[in-house]
Structure 1
Amino acid sequence: MWKKVRNSKIYVALLGAAILFTVSTQVTKAGYLNPGTSEDPIVTQSYVEKRNEQLKYYIDQKISEMGGTPSSGSQAPAAFQVIEVNKGQIVIGQAGTEMILRSGTAKAIASQSGGLSDLTAGKDLKSEENVPLNHLLLIPRDDGRGLAITWDKTFIMVKGGYEIR
C-alpha cells in the first residue's frame, strides 16, 4: 500500500509543496532580519567599527570618572633610559618595569611570588641567578624584585618606575 502512495501524483504534489513552502519561508525570513542581532549573527565591518567606537567612548568616560586622562591614540610610548649603578647597589623595579643589563654583571632579586621574567630566554630568573647581558627583563609585580649589581660601573636600560638603593 505504501508503494502505491509513493508512486501516486498526490504524494509527489504534497512533497513538492512542502519543499517549496520550506524554501520560501527561509528566504522570506532571511530578508527581514537585521545583521548583528541574535537571529542573524553575521555582521558587517561598519557594525564592528561602530561598536568599537562605542566601546572606546565608554572606556574613556570611565577613565575620566576615575580621575585619569583618556587615551589619545597619539601618545608616545615611554622610552628606555640608561642608568649607571655601582657594585653593591640594587635596582628595584615597579610592576611593569622593563630592564636590560647592557654592561657589567648583576644577580636577580626575586620575591616569594617568583623571579624576574627573562623575555628573551623565555624563562624565570630566580634569586641570586646571574642576569645575562642584553636580555629584556620584566618585573611583573611591585614586590621588591630587581637587580643586585656585582660590578663597578654597570649600565642598565630601564623603562618604567625603579628605585636605586
Structure 2
Amino acid sequence: MRVVAGERKGMPLKAVTGSTTRPTTDKVKESIFNIIGPFFDGGIALDLFAGSGGLGIETLSRGAEKGIFIEKDGRAFQTLQENIKKCRYEDCTELFRTDATRAVKGLLKRDIQIDYLFLDPPYKKTEYYDLVEVLVANGKLSERAIIVCEHSTEVNLPKEYGSFTLAREETYGSTIISIYKNGI
C-alpha cells in the first residue's frame, strides 16, 4: 500500500495487521481518484472507518487542506496514527478513536463543511450508510462535496442522498465504489 499521487507520491503506508479491516487496494484507490478528480484545491476530507487512513491521506496528498479520520478499532487506529506521522500530516488532521455514529453526532455540533466524504464500513454493517443521509440532511456537506461509498456487490445503496445523486458506480471483484455528487 502506498500514496498513489501528489506531494507524498510513492510514500509506503503501513497496513493494519489481522483481518479486522479491508484496505482499499492501490488499484481501486487510483481509480477512485481518476473519477473524482486527480488533484484538489483545498477542502476538508472525512474518512469514516478510516482503517490505515489510505483514502484520507491520498486526498491530503492531492491537495485537500484538512483530513478528519474516524476509526474505532485499536490496532487500526494505531496504524492510522503511524501513517499520519510518517506522511507528516499531524498539523492538518484530526484523528478520533470512536464509533462512526458517535463521531457523526459530534460533527453535527461543529461549524464544518465536508468536501470529500469516504465511507467504507464493514460490509455486513449496512446501517452505517445511513450516516450519509444524516450528514446531508444536517447540511454538513458542501455544495461541491463528493461522496465515495465502498460496499459489497450484495449491497444496494440508494440513487440519492438528498440533493446528492449517484454519479457513477464501478465494480472491482466483490467491491462496488458508488460516487455521489450534488445536483447532477
Same fold (TM over 0.5): no
Higher relative contact order (CA 8 A, sep 6+): 1
Q: Which has the larger radius of gyration?
A: 1
TM-score bin (small chain): under 0.3
TM-score by length of 1: 0.24
TM-score by length of 2: 0.22
